[in-house]
Structure 1
Amino acid sequence: MSEIKLAAIPRTEFGKGAARRLRRTNHIPAVLYGHGTDPLHVALPGHETMLALKHSNALYSIELDGVTTLAIVKDVQRDVVRQIIEHVDLLIVKKGEKVTVDVPVHVVGESYPGTIHVVETQNLSLEAEATHLPQFVEVSIEGLVAGATVTAGDVVLPQGATLLSDADLTVVAVSVPQASAADVAADEAVADLAAKQSAESAAESL
């Protein structure tokens, strides 16, 4: 995807009180760091930042005082109760350099009829060009039978990306669904009732 542009303003006040005041003006505290520069404390527009963070591994173009800086999100702190974004850490990147990112797994296709699949690994660690980060990797389970697995090494990676996760790591496993204990008990109860009714019917006919 293309760069997401966010207009930042300098941040000179710190602490919980200052952060609350910023959020009341619909801004989110953030810090830009990397490439040997001093951390740059900024405030980002609240609504636009919230929408932007819905995109995995997006490339951000942060505009501050007429200067544009490319960055990726390294960490987002949220209030665990209200799910409000409290702070964003942004890593400065340059075109051509490679960075390490965790990329979510998207399963596509249908396994063999009568089987189910379980995603054992939700994210894969990749090294990729900072300005061309994949938002997800696709894992096809089309036609896979029970007992089949897809490992990290089997996944087709986006062009230019290198796998950092263990190649033997199981990503998706295909199996036949097992009957639950409740289902087995219910089936046994039905069978017992049917046997009892059959025996009573046979006794009445004598």
Structure 2
Amino acid sequence: MSSEKITAEKRTEFGKGAARRIRRENKIPAVIYGHGAEPIHVTLPGHDTMMALKHHGQNALLELDIDGKTQLALTKQVQIDHIRRVIEHVDFVAVKAGEKVTVEVPVHVVGESAPGTLVVTDHAAIAVEAEATHVPEGLEISVEGAEAGTQIHAKDIALPQGVTLVLDADTLVVNVTAAPTAAQVEAELESAEAEAGIVHEASEAETEAAAATEAE
């Protein structure tokens, strides 16, 4: 896992008004926590930060240049405005090379399971411990040819060297089941609608058919 170099500026203005001014300049407010020190409030360049986070995923490691000093920072939380599709704020954890960290790593299901099956992902990410500079961006789980009844637990996932599982080893991550039939889907839909109190008006054809049946 490589780190992206980003030049950050320390900031002294806080609050919603200051944050809005920062975003209007196409920059991103951020905070760096960790190592028992006071949080460091910084401003990051909007485009460069967005591309770094997009390229390296939810656990992106950034090499922040703050007033000429370098600080490794592991992405902890990213707040996004889902309407405007822009990053509003980022929380980082200060880390050091060689330091072990616990992170949630996304799992990616690949391959095609056997015909007539349905693949259900019970956990989209799993907790692992790894060196801060060697956090995997994702973990692949293959379901190629898997039959109904196949279950993949956390302990079954191949981890890169130096990465250890933190999540309970017996946690079910992926479950391959028999795909429901059209009749089962229709029955479940009708049951859900009935519980929600949804009543459908009969169509004109259904009304005419019912009337014809009563007339016989």
Question: Normalising TM by the smaller chain, what interval?
Answer: 0.7 to 0.9
Q: CA deviation at 1:178?
A: 1.2
1:135-157 CA distance string (max 9 Å, x none) = 01111112221111101111111
Q: Return the alpha-carbon distance in structure 1 between the equivalents of residues 186 and 24 of structure 2.
A: 56
How does the TM-score come out when normalised to structure 1? 0.83
Name 2:96's counterpart in structure 1.
Answer: 94
The code of the aligned residue for 1:36 comes to G
Q: In 2, Cα distance between the equivalents of 1:182 and 1:32?
A: 51
For 1:68, the equivalent position in structure 2 comes to 70
Per-residue deviation at 1:164?
A: 1.1
- In the other structure, the counterpart of 2:172 is 170
Distance 1:53 1:184 in 2: 42
- Structure 1 pair 7–167 and aligned structure 2 pair: CA distance change class (3 A): same
Per-residue CA distance 1:21-51 (angstroms, 9 max, x = gap): 1111111111112112221111000111112
Partner of 1:15: 15
For the structure 1 residues 85 and 157, does the alpha-carbon distance in structure 2 shift closer, same or farther, using more than 3 Å as the test? same
Separation (CA, whole Å) in 2 of partners of 1:86 and 1:111 = 39
> Do structure 1's residue 33 and structure 2's residue 33 form an aligned pair?
yes
Q: How many residues are aligned here?
A: 185
Q: Is the 8 A contact 2:128 2:164 kept in 1?
A: yes
Change (3 A) 1:182 1:175: closer
How far 1:116 moved relative to its partner? Answer: 2.6
In 2, distance between residues paired with 1:8 and 1:151? 41
Q: Distance in 1 between matches of 2:33 and 2:123?
A: 30
**Which amino acid in the other structure matches residue 129 of structure 1?**
E
Specify the SS of the correspondent of 2:79.
strand
Q: Which 5+ residue runs of structure 2 have no aligned equivalent?
A: 188-216
Instruction: Measure, in 2, the Cα distance between the counterparts of 1:166 and 1:75.
Output: 23
Q: Cα offset for 1:78?
A: 2.7
Deviations 1:45-103 (A, max 9, x none): 01111122222212110011111110101112233544432211111101111111101
Q: Does 1:53 align with 2:53?
A: yes
Listed as ranges, the matches of 1:187-198 within 5 Å are: none
CA distance in structure 1 between the aligned counterparts of 2:179 and 2:32, rounded to whole angstroms: 48
2: CA distance, partners of 1:44 / 1:184: 51
Decide which structure has the larger Cα Rg and report it.
1
Query: What is the deviation of 1:182?
Result: 7.5
Q: Provide the identity percentage.
A: 58
Q: Distance in 1 between matches of 2:155 and 2:182?
A: 33
Per the alignment, residue 195 of structure 1 pairs with none
In structure 1, the partner of 2:3 is: 3
When the two structures are superposed, what TM-score results if normalisation uses the length of structure 2?
Answer: 0.80
- Residues in 1 aligned to 2:148 and 2:164: alpha-carbon distance in whole angstroms: 29
In structure 2, the residue matched to 1:120 is 122
Give per-residue Cα distances to partners, 1:95-136, cap 9 Å, x unaligned. 111111101111122222332311111110111110110001
Q: Secondary structure at 2:107's aligned position in 1?
A: strand
